[in-house]
Amino acid sequence: MTRDEFESALYAVGERQYHDLHPFHKLLHGGELAHGQVQAWALNRFYYQVSIPRKDLTLMARMDDPALRRAWIQRVLDHDGPGDDGAAGAAETKVGGIERWLRLTDGLGLDRDYVRSLKGILPATRFAVDAYVNLVRDRTILEAVASSLTELFAPGIHRERIAGFERNYGFANDATLSYFRKRLDEAPRDVTFGLSYVLENARTPEQQEACIAALRFKTEVLWAQLDALYHAYVEPGHIPPGAFVPEGVTATEYRR
């Protein structure tokens, strides 16, 4: 493929199967989920958030080029924060994405220690996210970078989520939405570098197809997480043993 054809093929992956198309997100952004169902989403998504720096550091450990490592480390700082996230009065510039996500779970009434323990996440959440980390560990650096290109499509879903949360949910405020607003700036910056790297270095048909497959795999990881949430907390409502059960709901009530 020419450079333009290759770029179009990468964008087409998102147009066909990015997780903004999933029924769970339609319910979430449309204000049609109960409070406990939104809690379950935020809780499970936290495992993805805390795994992103682990994924990025796994990739950096394989990079021989110091310039590439210097460019990529900003992603780790974005999530972990360059300073003490938990310190009282910490400057916003020192707050990372993980802390911002915990502000969301705080606003939803989830205990931080419980969220950090990861005890309530769905088995499929763990398997899907770990599969993404494993891809970055096991495949080529080019494929690993290509898998990050879901950021091409992220600003749209963040804008939709901010608007939907503000319109439909009482927990929406500056603190609980800070993660999504911050990513409106971070994701385009990251993807500019990642897309340029992939377009420059995927020079053979095999490399281009491998990059498209890696990006498709990442969209499947995100989709699988929502499949698990829908199955457990929407329909048919089968909550696995040990997973989070919303307050006032018994597991048997969700197994209808």
Q: CA angle, 105 as apex, 158 and 228 as ends, to 5°?
A: 70
Q: CA angle, 118 as apex, 156 and 163 as ends, to 5°?
A: 20
Burial of 174 (0-12, 13-18, 19+ CB in 10 A): exposed
Are residues 43 and 113 in contact, defined by beta-carbon separation less than 8 angstroms?
no
Dihedral sign for Cα atoms in the order 31, 120, 126, 234: negative
pLDDT at 256: 44
* Residues 136, 185: Cα–Cα separation, whole Å: 24
Residue ranges of domains in the chain: 3-254
For 3-254, CATH gives: 1.20.910.10
Are residues 84 and 94 in contact, defined by beta-carbon separation less than 8 angstroms?
yes
* Residues 127, 224: Cα–Cα separation, whole Å: 9
Are residues 115 and 48 in contact, defined by beta-carbon separation less than 8 angstroms?
no
pLDDT at 248: 76
pLDDT at 40: 98
pLDDT at 157: 93
pLDDT at 34: 96
Segments of the chain with pLDDT less than 50? 88, 256
Are residues 255 and 238 in contact, defined by beta-carbon separation less than 8 angstroms?
yes
pTM of the predicted protein model: 0.92
Contacts of 113 (CB under 8 A, 6+ apart): none
* Residues 79, 189: Cα–Cα separation, whole Å: 14
pLDDT at 82: 82
